[in-house]
Amino acid sequence: MTSYRGPVFEMAVKQFEVIANYLSIPDDARPRLLLPKRSVTVSCPIHRDDGTTAVFEGYRVQHHLTLGPTKGGTRFAPTVDLGEVAALAIWMSWKCALVGLPYGGAKGGINVDPSTLSKRELEALSRRYMQEMIPFVGPHTDVMAPDLGTNEQIMAWFMDTYSMYQGQTVTEIVTGKPVSAGGTLGRREATGRGVAHLVRRAADELKIRLNGSTAVVQGFGNVGSIAALELHNMGVKVIAVSDHTGALYRPRGLDIPQLVRHASSQGSLDGYSNELALDPAEILTVPCDVLVPAAVERVIDAGTAAKLRCRILAEGANGPTTPEADRILEARQDEVFVIPDILCNSGGVVVSYFEWVQDLQRLFWEEEEVMRREYQLLDRAFDRVLARSKGENLFNRTAAMAIGVERVRGAKETRGLFP
């Protein structure tokens, strides 16, 4: 019995079962690896601008504490519930272990549509959420970061609120902060850059020339817009992009720098051009060399998996592919090379780790140093995943997750069971 429910949590459980079976993990060892160590639900009341009071439910889940503090983003979205947050915390654990970071996974969030709040209301909610979390988090316990619906400004409010209660500035309590508030150079771009870097590694492996190839990107927020821009800068024609307001398609290639400027000034792709509109439901099946889902989870189900027309599926989002779709993609391995989410978007947590290290040391690096070290860790993880998938003839996701799960399991076994 568990209190975690919902389709996203069930997906994390199913994925784990595949790996646990593959690794022949005994039944009695599975719950200790899978079930989150701690979770908290909080009510966050705020004054609305119209004078009324509203209460929003917030969550934080810490998956395991075996390798160090937990680490994970904070999501503000109307879908957020305890099960979704728990699944995302579990995925963070396998991701951190895969890339070799001294963290367990965590995740948090508030069930809210942030676009319905004024800036003052958003600040009040962000500060109240952090205040409610103070007994539960800390620079050596659980370190927060941005995710869907949150950004650098919200991280700065989190850091300021925590610091006010401690009576001193504690920059290392969150990552993804603005550089002016103790953030690191290269964090905002880290996830999208990492996605593009790994696309290049996959293209080299498949002997695809990226210059002149085509890409499609779903989601045009932090991850999607930077990934699109990086691919564009590598000479890739980004032919379709989408966000929650709609989709754009131009077979000759979209003007990505202009779209990035539009999205950052307007907040979305809306209003860019009606001439280029595409049915958003079709974006994932547009024929292309590189497909980057960078929006929300479970967008590629079995039906879509069978219809994908890309050579490389670079999972910028967390959990974009369902276990049913995985079975189809596993059978289509020779046609579609999957860069699984826990590898593909791990550049974000890698640079968050660098930010935490720099904050603890009060010693800051140049952006080139941040990028060099990010790509080094990503290359190492990519090589390990590829060696494992080739060596044991495995689906890339199975290989990546097996490496992550094995590391957590190994640490638990070495430390033993207390008391």
Q: Does 108 bind ligand NAD (CB under 6 A)?
A: no
CB of 133 to ligand NAD, least distance (A): 19
Q: Does 174 bind ligand NAD (CB under 6 A)?
A: no
107 given a catalytic annotation: yes
Q: Which of 25/377 has CB closer to ligand NAD?
A: 377
Q: Does 185 bind ligand NAD (CB under 6 A)?
A: no
Measure Cα distances from 417 to 63, 102, 135, 342 in Å: 16, 19, 25, 27
Q: What is the DSSP string of 375-402?
A: HHHHHHHHHHHHHHHHHTT--HHHHHHH
Q: Which of 25/176 has CB closer to ligand NAD?
A: 176
Nearest residue to ligand NAD, scored by beta-carbon proximity:
221
Q: What is the rounded CA–CA span in Å between residue 312 and residue 338?
A: 6
DSSP state of 103: -
Among 219, 323, 340, 404, binds ligand NAD (CB under 6 A): 219
CB of 369 to ligand NAD, least distance (A): 19
Q: Which of 38/244 has CB closer to ligand NAD?
A: 244
Q: What is the rounded CA–CA span in Å between residue 92 and residue 81?
A: 17
**Selected range binding ligand NAD among 178-186, 316-324, 374-382, 389-397, rule: CB under 6 A:** 316-324
Determine how β-strand 70-77 pairs with β-strand 53-62. unpaired
Q: Are 339 and 198 in contact (CB under 8 A)?
A: yes
> Which of 107, 119, 177, 237 is flagged as catalytic?
107
**Selected range binding ligand NAD among 199-207, 219-227, 301-309, 382-390, rule: CB under 6 A:** 219-227
**Can you say how many angstroms the Cα of residue 68 is from the centroid of all Cα atoms in its chain?**
20
* 391: its two tokens: 């060596």
CB of 235 to ligand NAD, least distance (A): 23
Q: Which of 296/377 has CB closer to ligand NAD?
A: 296
Q: Does 72 bind ligand NAD (CB under 6 A)?
A: no
Query: Amino acid identity of 230?
Result: E
Among 72, 104, 183, 221, binds ligand NAD (CB under 6 A): 221
Q: Does 374 bind ligand NAD (CB under 6 A)?
A: no
Q: What is the DSSP string of 294-350?
A: -S-SS-B-HHHHHH---SEEE--SSS-B-HHHHHHHHHTTTT-EEE-HHHHTTHHHH
Among 159, 227, 241, 294, binds ligand NAD (CB under 6 A): 294
**Can you say how many angstroms the Cα of residue 150 is from the centroid of all Cα atoms in its chain?**
12
Among 143, 148, 377, 400, binds ligand NAD (CB under 6 A): 148
Among 242, 304, 396, 398, binds ligand NAD (CB under 6 A): 242
What element of type H or E holds 188? helix 187-206
Q: Which of 72/182 has CB closer to ligand NAD?
A: 72
Q: Does 147 bind ligand NAD (CB under 6 A)?
A: yes
Rounded to the nearest 10°, the torsion over CA 371, 106, 20, 340 is: -40
Measure Cα distances from 408 to 30, 104, 184, 354, 411 in Å: 12, 8, 28, 21, 5
Q: Which residues pair with 217 in a beta bridge?
A: 241, 292
Among 223, 288, 291, 403, binds ligand NAD (CB under 6 A): 223
CB of 191 to ligand NAD, least distance (A): 4
**Selected range binding ligand NAD among 42-50, 200-208, 238-246, 303-311, rule: CB under 6 A:** 238-246
Q: Which residues bind ligand NAD (CB under 6 A)?
A: 146-149, 191, 218-224, 242-244, 268, 280, 294-296, 316-318, 345, 348
Active site residues: 107
